[in-house]
């Protein structure tokens, strides 16, 4: 805490000095700030289903929870948390689509890990405090950079230029010893040209699940030159996280008796006492660097380009019991001259990677035509390796002993052309054409031991993909407040690393293709906003979640030839009376696999299987109903809100077996904000959040599998779930200068 308050003092002093030369900016600076956003985002006339979340909306709920929880009230969005609090390792699904199929960008720069396709917001703690807006596009959406949007995309924009100097200091406390501290400051415009912004944050929490504590730190810095026709802006942000592992969930038969149980790190000492390893942790540092150039070429042409670099390095450490010496290339211990087959050990599995690239866009705007020609080139270069750092009864252990190592390189390039043309006054036609090239190589050893060859499995992947992703849309403006739209889009997506490394012996993952049709109606006036969107997403070779997980809790997938997601999304918002407003959304959907064969092993033997054919079955983790409601009431400087979410039953695999499912849940949260005006400063803002106010016992995620045993015809089902916290609170105060 001393370091935090020292940083507060230094940055406040910095702002005070720099503010003396602060000047206001003109509207051209604002327009230049928006160039990158407009080239990737959907607009009011776009034939796309999307939601915008402003910085003000984020601030109303930002007391320390991760970005997925701040977006959880948007349509078809379901968030989940390993620790049960929304802090630390969090995940999400949109329309049932898991996170590694959701394209995420920051200022147009791809954030998805090139190999896993996932975005780990645990590496970006309190990033919400540096956001100006977020747009979530459902379906294929518009062309973007990085991993394919295979069901949704999230475009995040960091803070815009602040014309005046400012500073903010905030602190929040909550259940499970949750504590967040944040300092943010900016110079405003200096000499009408220069501006600098900075933020420091730290978040700690014990978590709801046993030992699921987190210790996270992050920073954000932006500095730029703002000319009359150009801007050059450098942005860097990053995070360091250390979290105790809670990714195994809780066995379903313990939910009533020991709901917060965490089995990870469990071992027995020499006296047979059950202990838990203190450092069963995930440790990772990730830093992002972006340099953005925006240029006005003339009244119709605008150009923007960005270079980016992301550096990530870290490991997770775990205590493993009764592991075979041979798996790790270790010399066995001997007792009375007899070599022992197994031992306890502590291992670290490392990631060490670099991701860099260039993105660009040329934007044209004149009369009824708005067009963008853009693209990007990116390279990922990373190492995966494992080290054994301790062995019980070790025999000449090398402290740097590696038992596997592999190297990966992935090149990703794309070019797109998209245009909106208004004709006959009320029609807007959209055409969006994108070509993607991917070259992915993985060489070395996998992290799995092959008992048939008595060696680590070799990893020798060299794949090239060429994808063409066309998108077409038509919007008709009924009047100033209403429009209807229709679109048809195609998206292609390559398998990720885990699809290859965790595939079964006879599985060979292939790329998947999505055909997305959307039809919608929107209305917006002073008292009411609303819309209805119908979608039909047909897949070829979709990589669906099977309900099984890897040994570190990562969901596993498998190709299915024929599947679809179809649904209706209803969105509404209205001003009921002065100061009282309601916003809500409802998704009703069907998510099906056709002609699917479910496989269960006999005695855990992959070569002995029981197969069950399904003509039609539900896709795992895809609820048929998602409903959100938010009432807000404001009076003067006071604002109070009640938000509610209902999520229907989710099957944990593709067998449609109710014994392997997450029950539906209905959760309500209350928030209260009060802004106290104080002389000589902008305000003091107080925030209180009471989450799960009715103490609902619910789970948001899980996994399951079935097993048969020799001589027994009964199917045995096993299920692990991720319980969420009961009633809990977060309270914070922010000083704004």
Token pair listed for 702 = 């899980």
Paired tokens of 485: 């739209």
Q: Distance between CA atoms of 486 and 518, rounded to whole angstroms?
A: 6
Contacts of 671 (CB under 8 A, 6+ apart): 60, 61, 640, 641, 643, 687, 688, 689, 690
**C-alpha 175: how far from its chain's center?**
24
Q: Largest Cα–Cα distance of the chain, in whole Å?
A: 92
pLDDT band at 504 (very low <50, low <70, confident <90, very high): low
Q: How confident is the model at residue 20 (pLDDT cuts 50, 70, 90)?
A: very low
What per-residue confidence (pLDDT) applies to 499?
A: 87
Count of other CB atoms within 10 angstroms of residue 441:
15
What does the DSSP assignment read for 416-443? EEEEEEEETTTEEEEEEEEEEEEEEEEE
- Identify the weakest region by mean pLDDT among 25-29, 54-58, 133-137, 302-306: 25-29
Provide mean pLDDT across the span 383-401.
Answer: 85
Binning pLDDT at 50, 70 and 90, where does residue 551 land?
low
367 pLDDT higher than 70:
yes
| pLDDT classification of 273: cutoffs 50, 70, 90 | very high
Domains located in the chain, CATH noted: 2-736 (2.40.170.20)
How many other CB atoms are found less than 10 A from the CB of residue 257? Answer: 7
pLDDT at 337: 80
> In the structure encoding, which two tokens stand for residue 547, read together?
């309900």
CA angle 451, 454, 458 (to 5 degrees): 95
Instruction: Please give the Cα distance from 626 to 88 (Å, whole number).
Output: 24
Predicted pLDDT of residue 26: 41
Which pTM does this prediction carry? 0.92
**Span 536-565, mean pLDDT?**
78
> Contact, 411 vs 448, CB < 8 A?
no
Task: Look at residue 34 in the predicted model and tell me its pLDDT.
Answer: 58
Mean of the per-residue pLDDT values of the chain: 90
pLDDT at 547 over 80: no
Share of the chain above pLDDT 70, in %: 93
The pLDDT of residue 27 is above 80? no
593-608 core/surface letters (b: 16 or more CB in 10 A; e: else): beebebebbbeeeeee
57-66, 440-449, 689-698: which has the minimum mean pLDDT? 57-66
Over the range 57-68, which residues count as b (16 or more CB within 10 Å of their CB) and which as e? bbbbbbbbbbbb
Q: Over range 270-291, report the average pLDDT.
A: 96
* Per-residue pLDDT, 550: 56
Residue 589 contacts residue 488 (beta carbons within 8 Å): no
Q: What is the mean pLDDT of residues 317-329?
A: 93
pLDDT tens for 162-215 read 889 999 999 999 999 999 999 999 999 999 899 999 999 999 999 999 999 999
Q: Which of 49-58, 120-129, 184-193, 543-552 has the lowest mean pLDDT?
A: 543-552
468: pLDDT strictly greater than 80: yes
568 near 532, Cβ under 8 Å?
Answer: yes
């Amino acid at each position: 805490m001393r370091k935090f308050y020292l940083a507060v003092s230094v940055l406040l002093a910095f702002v005070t000095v720099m503010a003396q030369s602060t000047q206001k900016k003109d509207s051209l600076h604002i327009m230049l700030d928006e160039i990158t956003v407009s080239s990737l985002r959907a607009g009011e006339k776009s034939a796309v289903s999307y939601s915008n979340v402003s910085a003000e909306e984020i601030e109303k709920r930002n007391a320390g929870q991760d970005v997925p929880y701040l977006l959880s009230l948007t349509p078809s969005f379901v968030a989940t948390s390993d620790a049960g609090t929304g802090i630390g390792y969090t995940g999400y699904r949109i329309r049932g689509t898991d996170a590694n199929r959701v394209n995420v960008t920051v200022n147009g720069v791809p954030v998805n890990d090139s190999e896993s396709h996932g975005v780990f917001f645990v590496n970006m703690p309190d990033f919400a405090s540096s956001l100006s807006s977020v747009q979530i596009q459902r379906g294929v959406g518009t062309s973007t950079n990085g991993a394919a949007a295979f069901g949704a995309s999230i475009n995040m924009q960091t803070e815009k230029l602040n014309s005046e100097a400012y500073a903010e200091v905030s602190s929040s406390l909550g259940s499970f010893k949750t504590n967040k501290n944040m300092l943010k400051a900016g110079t405003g415009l200096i000499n009408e040209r220069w501006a600098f912004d900075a933020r420091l944050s730290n978040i700690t929490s014990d978590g709801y699940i046993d030992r699921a504590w987190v210790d996270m730190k992050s920073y954000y810095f932006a500095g730029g030159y703002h000319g009359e026709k150009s801007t050059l802006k450098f942005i860097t942000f990053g995070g360091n996280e250390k979290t105790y592992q809670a990714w195994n969930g809780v066995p379903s038969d313990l939910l009533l008796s020991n709901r917060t149980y965490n089995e990870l790190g469990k071992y027995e000492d020499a006296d047979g006492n059950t202990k838990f390893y203190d450092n069963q942790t995930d440790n990772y540092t990730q830093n992002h660097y972006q340099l953005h150039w925006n240029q006005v070429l003339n009244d119709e042409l605008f150009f923007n380009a960005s270079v980016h670099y992301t550096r990530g390095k870290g490991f997770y450490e775990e205590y493993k019991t009764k592991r075979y010496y041979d798996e790790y290339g270790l010399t066995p211990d001997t007792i009375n001259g007899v070599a022992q087959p197994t031992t306890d050990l502590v291992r670290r599995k490392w990631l060490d990677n670099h991701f860099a690239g260039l993105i660009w866009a040329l934007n044209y705007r004149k009369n009824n035509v708005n067009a963008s020609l853009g693209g990007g080139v990116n390279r990922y270069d990373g190492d995966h390796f494992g080290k054994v750092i301790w062995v019980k009864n070790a025999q000449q252990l090398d402290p740097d002993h590696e038992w596997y190592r592999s190297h990966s390189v992935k090149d990703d390039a794309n070019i797109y052309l998209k245009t909106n043309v208004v004709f006959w006054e009320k029609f807007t036609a959209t055409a969006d054409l994108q070509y993607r090239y991917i070259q992915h190589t993985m060489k070395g050893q996998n992290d799995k031991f092959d008992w048939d060859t008595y060696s680590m499995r070799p990893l020798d992947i060299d794949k090239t993909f060429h994808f063409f992703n066309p998108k077409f849309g038509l919007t008709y403006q009924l009047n100033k407040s209403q429009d209807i739209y229709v679109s048809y889009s195609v998206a292609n997506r390559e398998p990720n690393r885990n699809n290859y490394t965790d595939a079964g012996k006879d599985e060979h993952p292939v790329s998947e293709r999505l055909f997305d049709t959307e039809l919608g109606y929107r209305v917006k006036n002073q008292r009411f906003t609303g819309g209805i969107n119908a979608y039909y997403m047909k897949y070829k070779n979709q990589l669906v979640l099977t309900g099984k997980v890897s040994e570190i809790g990562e969901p596993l997938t498998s190709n299915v030839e024929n599947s679809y997601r179809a649904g209706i999304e209803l969105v509404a918002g209205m001003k009921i009376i002065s100061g009282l407003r309601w916003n809500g959304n409802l998704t009703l959907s069907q998510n099906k696999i056709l002609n699917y064969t479910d496989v269960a092993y006999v005695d855990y033997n992959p070569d002995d299987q029981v197969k069950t054919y399904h003509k039609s079955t539900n896709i795992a983790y895809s609820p048929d109903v998602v409903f959100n409601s938010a009432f807000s009431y404001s009076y003067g400087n006071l604002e109070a809100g009640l938000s509610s979410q209902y999520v229907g039953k989710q099957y944990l695999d593709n067998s449609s077996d109710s014994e392997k499912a997450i029950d539906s849940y209905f959760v309500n949260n209350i928030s209260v904000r009060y802004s106290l005006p104080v002389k000589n400063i902008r305000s003091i803002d107080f925030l209180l959040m009471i989450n799960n106010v009715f103490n609902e016992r619910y789970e948001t995620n899980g996994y399951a599998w079935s097993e048969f045993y020799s001589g027994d015809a009964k199917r045995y089902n096993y299920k692990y779930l991720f319980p969420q916290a009961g009633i809990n609170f977060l309270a914070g105060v922010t000083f704004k200068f």
